[in-house]
Amino acid sequence: MYSLTVRDSFMIAHSFRGETFGPAQRLHGATYVVEVTFRRTSLDGDGLVIDIGLASRLLDGVLEPLRYANLDELPEFSGVNTTTEFMAREIFDRLARRLADVGPSAPGTTGLHSLCVLLRESPDAWASYDAPLG
């Protein structure tokens, strides 16, 4: 399996509901580093998994509406604890939709097998979501 990973970062504010979260029930900020690994079983005709520039632009497009946002105020997250685990899956889903929208015309998008979204909350703690595409 071939893979290519791109990385970016974004800052958010949010709070959690439930005793489990202790002081994180109050509004607080997080700076996430996100790493997305694109995978395919064989390289495309140009020898790519996916074009690095395209992968970076797709990730930036997914992160843009989240940058500096208070997630508690976004309607799509109403009633949801936006944990690191939850956000890893959310970024995966948004990226999968963007890949589908780009379609087969972009280099390396046809034949992608899976994605792994790894979301680093700190140098010592992170979560990921990994699944096949389609």
- Boundaries of every domain in the chain: 2-132
| 30 has a pLDDT exceeding 90 | yes
Q: Residue length, the chain? A: 134
| Torsions phi, psi for 52 (to 5 deg) | -60, -40
- pLDDT value at residue 104: 66
Q: What is the per-residue burial (b if ≥16 Cβ within 10 Å, else e) of 40-64?
A: beeebeeebbbbeebbeebbeebbe
Q: How many CA atoms lie within 13 A of 33 on its CB side?
A: 9
For the domain spanning 2-132, the CATH number is: 3.30.479.10
CB 51 within 8 A of CB 107: yes
- pLDDT value at residue 28: 96
- pLDDT value at residue 132: 96
pLDDT in tens, 42-65: 999 889 999 999 999 999 999 999
Name the one residue in this structure whose structure tokens are 């020898």: 47
- pLDDT value at residue 127: 98
pLDDT in tens, 81-116: 999 999 999 999 999 999 988 876 666 667 899 999
- pLDDT value at residue 51: 92
DSSP codes joined into one string, 68-105: TEEGGG-GGGTT----HHHHHHHHHHHHHHHHHHHGGG
Confidence of residue 130 (pLDDT cuts 50, 70, 90): very high
pLDDT in tens, 6-17: 999 999 999 999
